[in-house]
Amino acid sequence: MARRIERTIRFDSTASRAKNAFVLVYDLEGFSRFFNQPDVQDYVPKFINRVQEAIGIALFGGSPYWEPEGEIYEPLLAPIHEKFLGDGALFVWTPPKGEKTFSEDFAVRICNRLWNVKNFFPQILRKCADDVPVLELPQRIRFGVARGTVYELTRTRSNKKEYIGFCINLASRLQKYCPDLGFIASARIGLPEATLEKHGYTRVVASKLRGFPKEIVIVDKKEFERLDEAVRSELFESL
């Protein structure tokens, strides 16, 4: 029997109450070029699975083979929503049961782990070579992280959920704002200055982020200082 396809996606008429959320969006730079190679249909799922495996280790625990120290990651708070976006993915968290916000420990761990995935992405690509014998793999992964209010939408005649909110848009725009920085988080995630300094981050102003003028963001201090001066002047301002 043929599967019935609805003409349009429809949602229940009322969204959920506003929920405090922590949001991650990642994107694979150069995915379209990779996808347009011959016979790539044999390799795209394998490549995506390798990348998702690395993201899964960072979020859900395990051994991050890409790091030289060999640390074992403990599981983080589980997200309430995960969505594949074609050349990346979206993750949404809400606070633990009984809590109104996220702990500083959660925020700093997720930032550190994602930064390490970005920083050691060539090692992840080397593991991809075992089952993805394609030369032009996406060479970089970019992360955008934000926090704010989301609303839950329920599909009509289904229990499938979707989420909307400014922080989702913000995370998406942060990950592509400055291609030379593979990790940018909104300062709205709430890490204090002392914690940022301890872990090698700094706060600057993203001055041309579409829809979010003068957004204070968190970047890796050394990576930011290595940016070309013209790029820094064009896209960022000091606090």
Position with higher pLDDT, 44 vs 142:
142
> In the predicted model, what is the mean pLDDT of residues 136-159?
85
C-alpha Rg value of the chain to the nearest Å: 19
User: How confident is the model over 198-217, as a mean pLDDT?
Assistant: 96
For residue 11, is it within any domain?
no
Per the structure, the count of domains in the chain is: 1
pTM: 0.89
Mean of per-residue pLDDT scores for the chain: 88
Q: Is residue 110 situated within a structural domain?
A: yes
Residue 136 lies inside a defined structural domain of this protein: yes
CATH of the domain at 52: 3.30.70.1230
pLDDT-derived band at 1 (thresholds 50, 70, 90) equals very low
Tens-place pLDDT, residues 45-66: 888 888 999 999 999 999 999 9
Query: Can you read off the two tokens belonging to residue 152?
Result: 């839950």
Q: Looking at the domain assignment, is residue 89 inside a domain?
A: yes
What is the CB-side half-sphere exposure of residue 18 using CA atoms within 13 A?
Answer: 8
Return the SS3 of 163: strand
Q: Whole domain around residue 45: which residue ranges? A: 19-237
C-beta separation of 169 from 211 below 8 A: yes
Name which residue leads in pLDDT, 82 or 12.
Answer: 82
Tens digit of each residue's pLDDT (9 = 90 or more) over 169-187: 999 999 999 999 999 999 9
Instruction: Judge whether 4 lies within some domain.
Output: no
* Residue 6 within a domain: no
